[in-house]
Amino acid sequence: MAGPLQFQFVMSADDVDRLPPTRAEVAFLGRSNVGKSSLLNALANRKALAHVSKSPGRTQLLNCFELGNGTTAVDCPGYGFAAVPGRVRAGWQQMMDRYLLERRELRMALVLVDGEIGPTKLDVQMLDWLRANELPFVVVASKHDKVKASVRDKRKRELAEGCGVAGNEVVWVSAAKGVGIDRLRSLIRGWLDQTSRTS
Ligand SMILES: Nc1nc2c(ncn2[C@@H]2O[C@H](COP(=O)(O)OP(=O)(O)OP(=O)(O)O)[C@@H](O)[C@H]2O)c(=O)[nH]1
Ligand SMILES: [Mg+2]
């Protein structure tokens, strides 16, 4: 089935145990301000389904959306926001570790990397951690519209290299301009159709 993903907000949870049961799930990860919520809105073709941040780092919960066929998507809090106190950051880390390690139905972690900025140290740490724990992930490069056409090829090569993946494994998107959105929709449908986890 083509067209927008009909996400409906279900609930926000501060722990994996409080999330609703699901058949299959995808998660949106990435540093604060990278464009996770904007991407969810673009995939759903909705303006304000997921809250787009005016100030970064405000989403501290796992925001769960359902697709109507027993599958779900989780918009995770952004990492790397300097103004968050250490104590809060430690709590966030624990919540995220538990979520990623214990959510058995997680089919794919979409790791958003800012296409304009490229992978930060925290992005690389997250990717290394996912690899070390053998969790399935895909790199999604956001804000394609902000990368000038003249530097695009070079940027695409550098971003993939910085993330330790092949160039053709990176999914480039622009929530603002709709670039790559249809393709990502069908990838997500495919991951959610899987009956079990693959890495
Ligand atoms: N130009 C451009 N700006 C974008 C795009 N996607 C998101 N933005 C902007 O980037 C900022 C952050 O977007 P969000 O979607 O709130 O980012 P987030 O990753 O959900 O941030 P947190 O919830 O704080 O973790 C907003 O000002 C968006 O308008 C895009 O494709 N192109
Ligand atoms: Mg957000």
pLDDT in tens, 160-184: 999 999 999 999 999 999 999 999 9
Which mutation among 38, 54, 59, 95 tests ligand 1's pocket best, with the greatest number of atoms within 8 A of CB? Answer: 38
Residue 31 in 3-state DSSP? strand
Q: What is residue 92's predicted lDDT score, i.e. its pLDDT?
A: 84
Query: What is the DSSP secondary structure assignment for residue 151, as one 8-state letter?
Result: G
Q: How many angstroms is it from 44 CA to the middle of ligand 2?
A: 15
- Ligand 1 site, residue 122, Cβ cutoff 6 A: no
Q: What is residue 147's predicted lDDT score, i.e. its pLDDT?
A: 97
- Ligand 1 site, residue 176, Cβ cutoff 6 A: yes
Query: What is the DSSP secondary structure assignment for residue 84, as one 8-state letter?
Result: S
Query: In which order are the strands placed within the sheet that holds 62-66?
Result: 8-13, 62-66, 71-75, 24-30, 106-114, 137-142, 171-172
Query: Which ligand approaches the C-alpha of residue 30 most closely?
Result: 1
Closest ligand 1 atom to residue 146 Cα is 1
Mean pLDDT, all residues of the chain:
91
- Ligand 1 site, residue 115, Cβ cutoff 6 A: no
Phi, psi of 74 (to 5 degrees): -120, 125
Q: What is residue 59's predicted lDDT score, i.e. its pLDDT?
A: 62
CA 73 from chain centre, in angstroms, equals 9
- Letter for the amino acid at 102? E
Record the tokens describing residue 92, joined without a space.
């966030």
Residues 56 and 33: beta-carbon distance below 8 Å: yes
What is the spatial distance between Cα 192 and Cα 23, in angstroms, rounded to a whole number?
8
- Ligand 1 site, residue 89, Cβ cutoff 6 A: no
Query: Which ligand approaches the C-alpha of residue 32 most closely?
Result: 1
C-alpha distances in Å from residue 107, one per residue of 36, 84, 130, 140, 168: 17, 29, 13, 15, 20
What is the spatial distance between Cα 55 and Cα 83, in angstroms, rounded to a whole number?
11
Domains of the chain: 8-193 (3.40.50.300)
Which mutation among 12, 28, 31, 33 tests ligand 1's pocket best, with the greatest number of atoms within 8 A of CB? Answer: 33
Mean pLDDT of 81-87: 68
- Ligand 1 site, residue 116, Cβ cutoff 6 A: no
- Letter for the amino acid at 5? L
What is the spatial distance between Cα 131 and Cα 151, in angstroms, rounded to a whole number?
29
Query: Which ligand approaches the C-alpha of residue 178 most closely?
Result: 1
Predicted structure pTM score: 0.94
On the question of pLDDT at 191 being above 90, the answer is: yes
Q: What is residue 58's predicted lDDT score, i.e. its pLDDT?
A: 55
Reported confidence tier of residue 32, pLDDT bands at 50, 70, 90: confident
Triad 135, 81, 47: Cα angle to 5°:
80
Reported confidence tier of residue 196, pLDDT bands at 50, 70, 90: low
- Ligand 1 site, residue 38, Cβ cutoff 6 A: yes
Record the tokens describing residue 47, joined without a space.
């303006």
Q: What is the pLDDT of residues 99-114, one digit of tens each?
A: 999 999 999 999 999 9
Q: What is residue 21's predicted lDDT score, i.e. its pLDDT?
A: 96
